[in-house]
A and B are shown apart, each in its own frame.
Chain A
Amino acid sequence: MYAYDEIDRTLINERVTEFRDQVKRRLSGELTEDEFKSLRLMNGVYLQLHAYMFRVAIPYGTLSSEQMRRLAHVARRYDRGYGHFTTRQNIQFNWIKLAELPDALADLAEVGIHAMQTSGNCTRNITSDQWAGVAPGEIEDPRIWAELLRQYSTLHPEFSFLPRKFKFAITASEHDRAAIKVHDIGLRLHKNADGETGFEVLVGGGLGRTPFIGKTIKSFVPGRDLLSYVEAILRVYNQYGRRDNIYKARIKILVHELGIEKFAQEVEDEWLQMRDSALTLDDADVEDIRSRFTYPAYEKLPHMPDELKKAAHEPHFEAWRKNSVALHKVPGYAIVTLSLKPVGGPPGDATADQMDAIADLADKYSFGEIRVGHEQNLALPHVARRDLPALWRALDKIGLATPNVNLVTDIIACPGLDYCALANARSIPIAQELTRRFANHDTANLIGRLHINISGCINACGHHHVGHIGILGVEKNGEEFYQITIGGRADENAAVGTLIGPAVPYGEVADVVEDIVEAYLALRARPDELFIDAVKRLGVEPFRERVYATR
């Protein structure tokens, strides 16, 4: 966990005071909506179909149990008893009242949570690997650098009015769980030939209307130069990014139009002028941040304790363990993913009671720490393996032990037309129907790893482009239709999926997905050939034929 200092606490508290005054003036009529809109957006407050939506940042996906309890409190006191974890390590409350928002913000500020820069044309929440700091083989904890970037970019005067929003993601593992290739800037920590730690910097990734996979602009930037280098990128973007057309304003369009070589040269020219500026990080700067992260006092524990051996005879526990429990960098410990994808439930939602229970379990089994992943699941990052059976029983009681992590029912979905003012079609009911179709765990297990991503509009909050199966809701003559893509992925081999054919109506989406899965099961070369690998080998044609032959 990172402990905020006095500067952070002051900043957050001042923001609450400012926003309270702004809301008061809005409600009295002193501020018009036109004047107020940018102010509320700076505090993560959107207007959705039925109500205001309040988006709260969870920087690099790390939460304390105390913070989780406070989120539960906000859900219960100011909303309708639940929250929605998003694909960008935020949580959204869907029914919040503007008049009560300052109080909610104040309650969150008491535990160091805020909503700054969760909207607007600025640097958004810095996201990272939800297993950061505990994943085996990691170069180092990427959250130290994420925190540096958070401090650097928060209320940065030069970059508070960029052409469009700007998203960073950072990882330090070979396997990318942070989807860095579909962010405006993706950072991958690695070591160069001299053993020095630095960053591969990718730029221009993104989804939405025009999806692009990020391109490497520099293969190695030393840690000391990280801030000056990203500032050079931001400056080039701020200067040349389009402001005349919102659909062409993201950096990915600029990189595409200039070409990566020309863009890289612009950045290099800018960087050389400022490389040795005040932004250069010395070891003390980094150590200062590092020192404010606290890590558990791990015990020396066996990898296969008696408790685990005994529980291995319980099939339900084993099913859960096999797909929810991952290796930890410390022997005797495990990383446990908590599925927020129950059969028939909205992906990513957690009730206030569940949040409180998770906080209690984090205190009991995970040194009080919780992680939020972009797949809309949670994780307990420091669980002693001897405690896994007890944790599983406790999670099962609160509906959080669905054994489907990374399987076909572990669906990423945006709120869609049930909540969102931008959506053209519903996402959640599609996800719910799919989880019912594939509810049988043996079937899901037979299918193996398969990511379905659903977005209710082209803005792609459900990351449909990079789903192994992507589902995009569109509107045709007042009816909901869905375009289906296959072959997308968001990891280190990120790719944009390929459209398999004409959009299908709402009532046929689950049938189409079943057809695709059946085709895969019939065509895969061997039982362990994953869906995504089969699509790569076969192309989309066999799947297209299967889906459209009878339609």
Chain B
Amino acid sequence: MTSPLQQKIKITGPSIVTANRTWDGVVIYRTASNGWSTDISNAAIVRTADEARALLAESVADDVGAIGAYIAPVEIKDSGEIEPGNLREHIRSAGVTIDLPVPA
């Protein structure tokens, strides 16, 4: 399988790097301070392919803490709020769109 770093990177707008936390699988976002956060509002924003490649490279380097890092599109609202850029990422960020059989 091709490493994420070997794949062609093409971004068309603001993007972030997201992954899942290794020990429990929780969705996480790469921050600007070389760490991870479960809150998308803490995600580092990249706007060029080079920036995205660099952020992805440092994310993938953390093989112990995170699994499956990849670049995902986001929207930046006028308020500065970061919102997922597609339905898949919205579901990853906000959770399933259905009521769980057992309420949390």
Contacts and interface: CB of A to CB of B under 8 A. Distances in A.
Interface string A93-111: 0011111000000000000
Contacts of A426: 97
Contacts of A98: 22-25
The dominant DSSP class at the B interface is loop
A47 B97 contact: no
B47 interface: no
A49 B23 contact: no
Interface string B80-104: 0000001110011001111011101
B9 interface: no
Interface stretch (A221-229, A346-354, A485-493): A346-354
B31 interface: no
Contacts of B86: 478
A505 interface: no
A33 B19 CA distance: 13
B25 A418 contact: no
B102 A47 contact: no
B50 interface: no
Contacts of B67: 33, 47
B87 A97 contact: no
Nearest to B66: A33
Contacts of B63: 29, 32-33
Interface residues of B, number: 24
B27 interface: yes
A96 B26 CA distance: 10
Interface in A481-540: none
Interface string B13-42: 000000010111111000000000000000
B38 to A, nearest CB: 11
A47 B91 contact: no
Contact of A417 (B20, B24, B87, B101): B87
Interface in A36-50: 47-50
Given A33-B63, A33-B67, A49-B92, A80 B25 contact: no
B100 A52 contact: no
B20 to A, nearest CB: 6
Given A50-B95, A82-B101, A480 B22 contact: no
Contacts of A51: 20, 24-26
Interface in B50-91: 63-64, 67-68, 86-88, 91
A27 B101 CA distance: 31
A206 to B, nearest CB: 23
A428 interface: yes
B23 A97 contact: yes
Question: Which of B24, B26, B101 has most A Cβ within 10 Å?
Answer: B101
A351 B103 CA distance: 11
Nearest to B102: A81
Contact of B101 (A33, A47, A346, A480): A346
Contacts of B22: 26-27, 33, 98
Contact of A428 (B24, B25, B92, B98): B98
B102 A80 contact: yes
A448 interface: no
A417 to B, nearest CB: 6
B13 to A, nearest CB: 12
Contacts of B88: 49, 417
A478 B87 contact: yes
Nearest to B24: A97
Nearest to A98: B23
A428 B23 CA distance: 28
A51 B27 CA distance: 7
A323 B100 CA distance: 27
A29 B64 contact: yes
Given A49-B88, A346-B98, A80 B104 contact: yes
Nearest to B23: A99
Contacts of A80: 100, 102, 104
A385 to B, nearest CB: 31
A24 B88 CA distance: 31
A432 B83 CA distance: 27
B97 A418 contact: yes
Contacts of A26: 22
A550 to B, nearest CB: 27
Interface in A338-393: 345-346, 349-352
A418 B68 CA distance: 18
Given A51-B24, A51-B26, A478-B86, A432 B98 contact: yes
B91 A345 contact: no
A480 B96 contact: no
A352 B101 CA distance: 10
A419 interface: yes
A49 B87 CA distance: 12
A27 B23 contact: yes
Contact of B92 (A32, A50, A52): A50
Contacts of A99: 23-24
Contacts of A50: 25-27, 92, 95-96
B76 to A, nearest CB: 17
B98 A49 contact: no
Contacts of A480: 87
A208 interface: no
Given A29-B64, A96-B25, A350-B101, 16 more contacts: A27-B23, A47-B25, A48-B25, A49-B27, A49-B88, A50-B27, A50-B95, A52-B24, A80-B102, A81-B101, A81-B102, A82-B101, A351-B101, A417-B87, A418-B91, A480-B87
6 contacts: A32-B63, A33-B63, A47-B20, A80-B100, A98-B24, A417-B91
Q: Which 6 A-B pairs have the closest CB atoms?
A: A81-B102, A51-B25, A97-B24, A29-B64, A82-B101, A418-B96
